[in-house]
Amino acid sequence: MTANRRFRSVTRIGPVQVGTSCDGRGREKHTSACTAPRCGFSADYDSRAAAELAARTHRCPVR
């Protein structure tokens, strides 16, 4: 199942983008996703602070 999400409050920290959206049950979720080619990192968090921390500490394995 694919998730079509409408993100708001999108910021960029290095190669990682952090955005806020609502899930299917109306709860607010925060997502961190790396935009580097072939990296594949993305994760959902319950708080914006956790998503931003993951973005700041992310190191791409692909160089």
Name the pTM for this structure.
0.82
Integer Cα distance of 18 and 45 in angstroms: 10
Q: What is the pLDDT of residues 15-61, one digit of tens each?
A: 999 999 988 888 899 999 999 999 999 999 999 999 999 999 999 88
> Of 14, 12, 18, which is closest to residue 31 (Cα–Cα)?
18
In the chain, DSSP finds a helix count (H) and a strand count (E) of 1, 4
More confident residue, 38 or 4: 38
